[in-house]
Chains A and B, each alone.
Chain A
Amino acid sequence: MTPVVWRYGRPALVVLLAGLAVGVPLWLVLVTSAKPQAEAIKPNLDVPGHWQPGSNYQDAVSQGEMLRGFLNSLLVVVPSVVLVLILGAGAAWVFARRRSRLVSAAYALCISGLLLPPAVITIVMELRQLGLAGTRPGMIAVYTGMYLSTSIFFMTGFIRAIPMELEEAARMDGAKPPRIFLRIILPLLRPVIATATIMVMLYAWSDIFYAFFVLGGGERATLPLNLYKVASAQLYLNNWHLVFAYVVVMSLPMVAVFLVAQRKIVSGITSGAVK
């Protein structure tokens, strides 16, 4: 009896859950973002009486300063991701290959960021003293510091599984450490790099808490900060249609990245976590 129930009940349950848990919110976002303001004041699941996605998205882009936000987001997220990966890979190589008490201590310290919360208030203090408060380099430094632990942790585990012989063979051919790192370690790290890129991008792209403290509003505001501004205005402007148009456009890059690299992401996340 049970196998039969499972055979037909399971797919039905999956579809039902997906429809309720993901379908309904998604539908709400999509239809509301296509409604005129008058219909969107009380958000509901009705099909728009009048479709106007074009003008809503246009308004979201112009009123929400979306292009600038997009550029601002790119300008902090991309350098952060690159730094996290490159600096992380270098450190992970050393941590994975060398054995001494000092190395273990440095490794333990460097992955402490996996658990410890960043001290956001004193970060602001420090950045002010360094003259980096409200600047992109300051934001990049903060993101890099925050996510280095994750990349070092995953990459160290991964490098430990790479056979030492590969490096030794290259060394026999006279390759120096920088060459071995660039030619052997980095290419082999590709699966972890894919995962780390996605995870850091995901966190940094949607971060608003740290961006609030470091960048604040103003002309360097990232997409989430702009969304916050648009949505805070919704209290007196009732502009759900714009909020959701914004949400759609802001989420598209991440969804696109996921669709392109789906297989790598899934295998990377799963292989790194369970060790």
Chain B
Amino acid sequence: MTDTVVRTETAPVTGVPKRAGRLPRAAVHHPWWFALPAIAVFAGFFLVPNLLNFYYPFTNWSSYHADIAFTGLDNFRTIAEDGSLLRAIRTTLLYALLAALFQNGFGLVLALLLEADTRFNRFFRAVFFLPVLISALATGYVFQALLDQDGAVNSVLGTDIPWLGSTTWTLVLVTVIHGWKWMGLSMLIYLAGLKGIPGDMLEAAKCDGAGPWRTFWSVRWPMLAPAVTFNVTTALIGSMNTFDIVQATTGGGPAASTEVFNIYMFRIFGQGLYAQASAMSLVLFLVVVAIAIPLVIGLRRREQLL
């Protein structure tokens, strides 16, 4: 069957000798149908829902209506007026920023500590990678048990601090947990970046009398730019999509102070207000696009400057 497909594509090509250049040959050697299943699944289950997401927020789709009618900006007005829109945007951006900061900070420090390729270091790299392997939901429960007012941290310290009960600091704490969970992945990528630095470059810096700090800021850090691009982008974008850790530690509380987009959507969807959840989903999409595009362009440009 595959042969017939190829032949039908080959026939016109060989029949037209004047265009026997690159394109027709490519069509024979690397036929489109190899890519079509992937394109179909991706379009059908990723792009189409995202396109639908530009329509349903403007309807009254919910479990309370039998049919779906166009209602204009009603849903956006609702989420703007009850304050949840601004709160979700602010909470998610703050979360993403802090989570990316902690994840990259922890990862970079670990990479620098474990840079040399010794048996000791290899063992501890695996140890620090362990949290990546544990599901984010499980991670959340572990830290809930640690940070609960009746939990392990308070019992060790002999304190009675409501770690997960502060409307200001709990968000920061949850982002530290997020950074903890993913630091192993950042560490590996920074390690690869460090490994890619030519040895003679470090040697030259040493000969010129540069100390460890100077070498770091003048050689290592600039040479790490591609790793920084990758890590910062994936950490920022990934943490805007966060759900599990927040759900397992605070569930969005206290007083909705950790209610990021996905927690809101989950809650509102559970109440049957589908269109309203979809509206929030559209806002998330737009926020991610508005941040991702300048971020990638900016970081790429930075790579070239350094």
Contacting pair A148 B41 (CB below 8 A): yes
**Listed stretches B11-19, B29-37, B80-88, B164-172; interface member:** B29-37
Query: Could you show 26 A-B contacts with beta carbons less than 8 Å apart?
Result: A13-B113, A17-B110, A22-B130, A25-B146, A28-B145, A41-B150, A43-B152, A44-B156, A83-B41, A87-B41, A91-B39, A94-B35, A97-B29, A109-B47, A110-B42, A116-B285, A116-B288, A117-B281, A141-B41, A145-B41, A206-B136, A208-B247, A244-B142, A247-B134, A255-B130, A255-B133
* B232 on the A face (CB < 8 A): no
Partner of B29, one of A21, A113, A177, A224: A177
Partner of B274, one of A41, A125, A141: A125
What's the Cα separation between A10 and B28 when bound, in Å? Answer: 58
Interface residues of A in 249-269 (CB under 8 A from B): 250-251, 254-255, 258, 262, 266, 269
* A202 on the B face (CB < 8 A): yes
* A56 on the B face (CB < 8 A): no
Contacting pair A125 B196 (CB below 8 A): no
Contacting pair B152 A177 (CB below 8 A): no
Partner of A116, one of B28, B141, B211, B289: B289
Contacting pair B38 A28 (CB below 8 A): no
With both beta carbons as reference points, the residue of chain A lying nearest to B180 in the complex is identified as A21
What does the 1/0 interface line of A193-237 toward B look like (CB < 8 Å)?
000000000100110110011000000000010011001000000
* A88 on the B face (CB < 8 A): yes
What does the 1/0 interface line of A5-21 toward B look like (CB < 8 Å)?
01000110111011001
* A50 on the B face (CB < 8 A): no
What's the Cα separation between A205 and B133 when bound, in Å? Answer: 10
> With A116-B289, A125-B274, A271-B192 as given contacts, are A26 and B130 in contact (CB-CB < 8 Å)?
yes
CB distance from A166 to the nearest CB of B (A): 13
What does the 1/0 interface line of B118-138 toward A look like (CB < 8 Å)?
001100111111111111111
What's the Cα separation between A43 and B35 when bound, in Å? Answer: 52
What's the Cα separation between A42 and B150 when bound, in Å? Answer: 6
> With A14-B114, A25-B143, A231-B141 as given contacts, are A93 and B49 in contact (CB-CB < 8 Å)?
no
* A115 on the B face (CB < 8 A): yes
Where chain A touches its partner, the secondary structure class is: helix
- Residues on B close to A: CB < 8 A? 2-3, 6, 22-23, 26-32, 34-35, 37-39, 41-50, 52-53, 56, 61, 110, 113-114, 120-121, 124-138, 141-143, 145-146, 148, 150-152, 155-156, 180, 185, 188-189, 191-193, 195-196, 211-212, 226-227, 230, 233, 237, 240-241, 243-244, 247-248, 262, 265-266, 269, 274, 277-278, 281-282, 284-285, 288-289, 292, 296
Contacting pair B289 A121 (CB below 8 A): no
CB distance from B179 to the nearest CB of A (A): 11
Partner of B44, one of A24, A115, A145, A255: A145
Interface residues of A in 12-60 (CB under 8 A from B): 13-15, 17-18, 21-22, 24-26, 28-29, 32, 41-45
Total A residues in contact with B, Cβ cutoff 8 Å: 95
What's the Cα separation between A246 and B195 when bound, in Å? Answer: 38
Contacting pair A213 B269 (CB below 8 A): yes
> With A122-B52, A227-B138, A258-B129 as given contacts, are A42 and B193 in contact (CB-CB < 8 Å)?
no
What's the Cα separation between A87 and B50 when bound, in Å? Answer: 21
Task: Kindly list chain A residues whose C-beta atoms are within 8 Å of the C-beta of B211.
Answer: 2
Interface residues of A in 67-99 (CB under 8 A from B): 83, 87-88, 90-91, 93-95, 97-99
Where chain B touches its partner, the secondary structure class is: helix
Contacting pair A125 B52 (CB below 8 A): yes
Contacting pair B41 A90 (CB below 8 A): no
What's the Cα separation between A112 and B303 when bound, in Å? Answer: 21
* A4 on the B face (CB < 8 A): no
Additional A-B contacts beyond A100-B26, A119-B49 (8; CB < 8 A): A21-B180, A25-B143, A26-B130, A43-B148, A115-B237, A125-B61, A251-B135, A269-B185
Contacting pair A177 B285 (CB below 8 A): no
What's the Cα separation between A91 and B39 when bound, in Å? Answer: 8
Task: Kindly list chain B residues whose C-beta atoms are within 8 Å of the C-beta of A244.
Answer: 141-142, 145
* A133 on the B face (CB < 8 A): no
> With A22-B131, A116-B288 as given contacts, are A91 and B35 in contact (CB-CB < 8 Å)?
yes
Contacting pair A251 B133 (CB below 8 A): yes
Task: Kindly list chain A residues whose C-beta atoms are within 8 Å of the C-beta of B27.
Answer: 98
Task: Kindly list chain B residues whose C-beta atoms are within 8 Å of the C-beta of A94.
Answer: 30-32, 34-35
What's the Cα separation between A119 and B44 when bound, in Å? Answer: 12
Contacting pair A121 B281 (CB below 8 A): yes
Contacting pair A145 B42 (CB below 8 A): yes
Contacting pair A250 B135 (CB below 8 A): yes
With both beta carbons as reference points, the residue of chain A lying nearest to B229 in the complex is identified as A274
Contacting pair B39 A106 (CB below 8 A): yes
Contacting pair B142 A181 (CB below 8 A): no
What's the Cα separation between A240 and B150 when bound, in Å? Answer: 12
